[in-house]
Amino acid sequence: MSQAQTASIEKFNNKQAVVGIVGLGYVGLPLMLRYNSIGFKVLGIDINEQKVIDLNNGKSDIEHIPNTKIAEAVKTGFEATTDFARAKECDALILCVPTPLNKYREPDLSYVINTTNSLKTNLRAGQVISLESTTYPGTTEEEILPRVEESGLKVGEDIFLVYSPEREDPGNPNFETRTIPKVIGGHTPACLKVGVALYQPAIDQVVPVSSTKAAEMTKLLENIHRAVNIGLVNEMKVVADRMGIDIFEVIDAAATKPFGFTPYYPGPGLGGHCIPIDPFYLTWKAREYGLHTRFIELSGELNKAMPGYVLGKLMDGLNNQGKALSKCKILVLGISYKKNVDDMRESPSVEVMELIRAKGAEVAYSDPHVAKFPKMRAHKFDLSSVSLTTENLASYDAVVLATNHDGFDYDLIKQHAQLIVDTRGVYREPAAHIIKA
């Protein structure tokens, strides 16, 4: 065991290490709070100057993380900065930056590469670097490793490199950072030992695997499993609808089987920072090996088609009432990608809004978690959330229930909406003005 490895492990064991979190979003902030709560000094690094100012003033920009938690962390030593030179103060650098797809549905590693390039001149012996961003197998070795070693430090001897995929479920009260098992792979056995020492104090169960590639593939398998099963059930939804069968009734009945079945529920499409994106990281990388991942790509096509399916059901419902969509006012209920959160990333609700607007209709939205439509790279709406009153509901030709927040008054909606397109199976009892989509 090298001197750097021994010293690094000892620092994490006695909580004398400074933990650097690079990227203070939905993944980085909960991780910061966890390390801060168990007595580590935490330095947050982010390129967003306003976010850094807000965090240092005890303000959170994520709905399910209250200001009080940030303020308490600041009071007990947390600090945020835009200065990458301060990375040299840290014993660990945990990278929690976005890994989106470009317009050709190819991996965009610019955030990972730019972050690593900003850090590499500020590295020192004894540090451990952990990439948590979801990516294709080989990223840590191919992109991070050579840039780290440009500093003259040898990975596995002087400095340590691991991959440990983030596992966050925003808004889920049943899990928190501490209780979600943490997969970790090291570039060398020494890297793995230091990485385990980094995460063990903060996470109840650390799951070591043989390499960074295995850890990267683990994350992709988790999310591809979900994407493929949602694609299957979305296809089943279309078939069941054509046959006059309620797919939600069928899923609930199948879920009573105590083995061999896991319930997945259909919806208006896939959303969030993982499920719609991660499968394409593997399909892209597989082509390098001469492989065509047909099963994964088919599920992607099925899920991508769901906003269009919802639009078709909306148009059918309006046509049955003698109305043309282009002359209608439509209210979309819920525009975050999942219930009870404010996260808009890859939200299928927004795709539905785009399709409705493209048909010439007037579109509005209501969401208790998103007061004003945020700035997004691909979508522009100058809208604020509409309050759900008797008069407002009745004034729209149809409402599209896209995200089933607990904060909605579903009885009020049912009573006063002229037409409801239910994409989430909220209304189980048939009604003349409710269409399942």
| Domains within the chain, CATH numbers bracketed | 3-210 (3.40.50.720), 220-302 (1.10.1040.10), 305-436 (3.40.50.720)
DSSP label of 385: P
Is the confidence at residue 276, as pLDDT, over 80? Answer: no
As a whole number of angstroms, the distance between CA 427 and CA 19 comes to 47
Kindly list the distances between the CA atom of residue 142 and the CA atoms of 113, 145, 155, 202, in Å, as whole numbers in the listed order.
Answer: 11, 6, 13, 28
As a whole number of angstroms, the distance between CA 69 and CA 80 comes to 14
Q: Is 431 exposed, middle or buried (0-12, 13-18, 19+ CB in 10 A)?
A: exposed
- Report the candidate in 350, 209, 217 with the shortest Cα–Cα distance to residue 279: 217
Torsion over CA: 18, 202, 76, 16 (sign): negative
Pick the residue with more confidence: 139 or 103? 139
Instruction: Encode pLDDT of 423-434 as tens digits.
Output: 999 999 999 999
Are 304 and 317 in contact by the 8 Å Cβ rule? The answer is no
DSSP label of 15: T
Find tokens 């991508």 and name the residue: 304
- Helices marked H in 332-387: 348-358
Instruction: Encode pLDDT of 394-417 as tens digits.
Output: 999 999 999 999 999 999 999 999
User: Between 212-242 and 247-254, two packed helices, what is the crossing angle to 10 degrees?
Assistant: 130
Rg (C-alpha) for the chain, rounded Å, is 24
Kindly list the distances between the CA atom of residue 193 and the CA atoms of 107, 351, 422, in Å, as whole numbers in the listed order.
Answer: 30, 44, 50
Reported as type and span, the H/E element at residue 42 is strand 41-45
pLDDT at 316: 97
Cβ atoms within 10 Å, residue 299:
23
Known catalytic residues are 274
Where are the strands (E) in 165-239, listed by range? 182-186, 206-209
Instruction: Encode pLDDT of 102-133 as tens digits.
Output: 877 788 999 999 999 999 999 999 999 999 99
160 SS3 class: strand
401 SS3 class: strand
Confidence of residue 75 (pLDDT cuts 50, 70, 90): very high
Confidence of residue 362 (pLDDT cuts 50, 70, 90): very high
DSSP label of 141: I
Give the global pTM: 0.91
As a whole number of angstroms, the distance between CA 193 and CA 5 comes to 8
Averaged pLDDT score across all residues of the chain = 94
Q: What share of the chain is helix, strand, coil (3-state, %, to 5)?
A: 40, 15, 45
Opening angle at CA 172, ends 171 and 174, nearest 5: 150
DSSP label of 387: P
As a whole number of angstroms, the distance between CA 299 and CA 302 comes to 5
Is the confidence at residue 168, as pLDDT, over 90? Answer: no
Confidence of residue 186 (pLDDT cuts 50, 70, 90): very high
pLDDT at 199: 98
pLDDT at 275: 73
pLDDT at 359: 97
Is the confidence at residue 291, as pLDDT, over 90? Answer: yes
| Mean pLDDT computed over 316-324 | 97
Q: Which residues contact 118 (CB under 8 A, 6 or more apart)?
A: 84
- Report the candidate in 81, 70, 62, 71 with the shortest Cα–Cα distance to residue 18: 81
Cβ atoms within 10 Å, residue 107:
21
Instruction: Encode pLDDT of 201-227 as tens digits.
Output: 999 999 999 999 999 999 999 999 999
22 SS3 class: strand
Are 329 and 364 in contact by the 8 Å Cβ rule? The answer is yes
Amino acid making up residue 431: A
The tokens of 9 are what? 């492990």
Reported as type and span, the H/E element at residue 315 is helix 306-320
